Structure 1
Amino acid sequence: MLAWHYTTGRKFQHISASGMLIPGGIGAESTGTPVLWFSRNQHWEQTAGDECNEAGQPVRRLTMRETYVASGGLVRYGCDVKRLYVGEVLRRKAQMTDEAWAALYAAGKLQQAYPAAWCGSVDSLPIDGLVVHVLSESFKWQSFEVG
């Protein structure tokens, strides 16, 4: 089974140039090691949507369609879930407190995400060997050959 790292078309350019997916902070991880997040959700991970801000304050996450329009398209990288950490093992690898982990789950639930589908890595992953899909204008994921 593949887990997916969902990202935007704009970020895809930087990822392609570096050849790596690199863990990064998402704001909720006030302590610990940055995580490269993946989801076993096979269509979209709602927490991957861009934030909608008003007066400099986050109001909500953009939908998949809104993020697609605002961010130059959508891309996802597929990785065998066996290469990733899940649940408590991921929390420990990321050195995240129980409180921070619980807050992250609660925030995901508020965004209609399914946190039980989350997995990740605390290490960078080369994009060589990962499956790459680009979202078409008809909102179907299509294979994309990198290089």
Structure 2
Amino acid sequence: MFWHYTTGRHIDAIFESGRLKAQTPRWAPGGMPAVWFSTSDQWEPSANCAFERLSTRHRLLGTREMTDVLCDGLFRISVRASVGVITWGQYCSEGELSARSMEGCRSVAAIEGSHPGRWLACLREIPSEDWLQVERWYGSQWGVIEGMKEVLPSWNESEFQLQAAG
């Protein structure tokens, strides 16, 4: 199984358009537009937010927890296998990416705790008819969203203990 990971900052636009749109990744200027997926079943670190200091162009990579809080939640969408995906390696060779772009991507992936071997790409947009499930992350588990309504996972109250801030 594979998932398209995204954040709350993008999920409304995805729902409104009713499709996952193929885009050219920042690390592959001139590359082919694609919808990206991961075989990671918890979260894809390359989907984390990044912060850039404008004065120095220094880029700080966020964590899953930072991305969850600062980007209005974590979401993932699974799709039918029949949409047709290719591996990251196939994407690189078919897109004729430069060695520099590929090595830069590998380096960033390693820093983020990801691996291009888990990445898949679909070279076309994917309409909602091909989506299997949309889920939201609730701190320790994924909960299914049906239509535009969230279906919260069942909570075992004994698993949680409230703590005062500070």
With the length of structure 2 as denominator, give the TM-score of the two structures: 0.77
- Counterparts of 2:103 and 2:81, CA distance in 1: 22
Greater CA radius of gyration, 1 or 2?
2
Question: Following superposition of structure 1 onto structure 2, how do residues 15-30 of structure 1 map, counting pairs within 5 Å?
Answer: 15-30=14-29
Residue of structure 2 equivalent to 1:70: 70
Work out whether residues 25 and 31 of structure 2, in 8 Å CA contact, stay in contact via their aligned partners in 1. Answer: no
Question: Following superposition of structure 1 onto structure 2, how do residues 3-14 of structure 1 map, counting pairs within 5 Å?
Answer: 3-14=2-13
Work out whether residues 8 and 75 of structure 1, in 8 Å CA contact, stay in contact via their aligned partners in 2. Answer: yes
Tell me the CA shift for residue 110 of structure 1: 2.2
Work out whether residues 5 and 47 of structure 2, in 8 Å CA contact, stay in contact via their aligned partners in 1. Answer: yes
Aligned residue type for 1:108:
A
- Counterparts of 1:129 and 1:39, CA distance in 2: 17
Query: Cα 1:16–1:128, aligned 2, differ >3 Å: closer, same or farther?
Result: same
Tell me the CA shift for residue 23 of structure 1: 1.4
With the length of structure 1 as denominator, give the TM-score of the two structures: 0.86
SS at match of 1:59: strand
Gaps of 5+ in 2: 149-166
Gaps of 5+ in 1: none
Q: Identity percentage over the alignment?
A: 22
Query: Cα 1:58–1:132, aligned 2, differ >3 Å: closer, same or farther?
Result: farther
Work out whether residues 76 and 132 of structure 1, in 8 Å CA contact, stay in contact via their aligned partners in 2. Answer: yes
- Counterparts of 2:127 and 2:35, CA distance in 1: 12
- Counterparts of 1:127 and 1:105, CA distance in 2: 31
Tell me the CA shift for residue 41 of structure 1: 0.5
Query: Cα 1:103–1:43, aligned 2, differ >3 Å: closer, same or farther?
Result: same
Paired residue total: 144
Note the alpha carbon deviations across 1:9-37, whole angstroms, 9 max, x for none: 12000000000001113311112212211
SS at match of 1:42: coil
* Alignment of 1:90 onto 2:73: no
Tell me the CA shift for residue 114 of structure 1: 1.6
